[in-house]
Amino acid sequence: MTKFREQQRFPLWAELILVVPFLGIGLGMLQPDARQDTLWAAFAGLAAAIGLLYLLLFRMTTEVDEQEIRVHFGYIPSYRWRLPIDQIVKAMAVEYDPIREYGGWGIRVLPVPFGRVSALNARGRLGVLLTLSNGRTMLIGSQRPDLLLQAITKRSD
């Protein structure tokens, strides 16, 4: 049984970076002579790739049940991460700086010298920082970190 489920979209500005060029290219393709031009064909391919990227990455879903935490990205899930609850040594709700601490939003994996090793986040500055039994850390971004933390730490009777 799922104890916690959250879907997050990336911020509007990030979506616009992808969608506006996609729409512009699509509208350009409606020009009568544009469909024969190889440059427009290349742009159409780029527009299709951008649209696919949007479907594959621009939503983050986090679920917690009794056994594990699951995070996946995309309207069509393209990246999946799972962690058994029993591998968590410590969990705490945190506020963090996504750019300075993790290099931005999304699927973030940084080398050990940067301190925190990994993050999965879509927006905002809130999340739950997990310390794992192997010593690594994982930050899961959430707009409801207290509820996520409660779902991770509370055991059913």
Instruction: Retrieve residue 125's tokens.
Output: 């500055």
Task: Give CA–CA dist 124/19, Å, rounded.
Answer: 21
> Token pair 């699927």 is at which residue?
107
Per-residue model confidence (pLDDT) at position 87: 95
Residue spans per domain, the chain: 8-57, 63-153
Is the per-residue pLDDT at 157 higher than 50? no
- Selection from 124, 115, 128 nearest residue 83 by Cα: 128
| Cβ within 8 Å of residue 119, ≥6 positions away | 98, 101, 102, 108, 127, 138, 139, 140, 141
DSSP 3-state of 33:
coil
**Cα torsion 39, 27, 13, 71: sign:** negative
Task: Give CA–CA dist 42/44, Å, rounded.
Answer: 5
132 bridge partner residues: 88
Q: What is the pTM of this model?
A: 0.74
Top pLDDT among 133 and 115 is at 133
Q: Specify the DSSP element, H or E, that contains 20.
A: helix 12-29
Task: Give CA–CA dist 126/128, Å, rounded.
Answer: 7
- Model confidence over 4-58: pLDDT tens digits? 999 998 776 666 666 666 666 666 656 666 555 666 666 667 777 766 666 666 7
- Model confidence over 63-107: pLDDT tens digits? 999 999 999 988 777 788 999 999 999 999 999 998 888 888 888
Instruction: Retrieve residue 35's tokens.
Output: 């469909």
Top pLDDT among 57 and 1 is at 1
Q: For residue 82, what is the DSSP state?
A: E
Instruction: Measure Cα distances from 107 to 3, 52, 64 in Å.
Output: 23, 17, 18
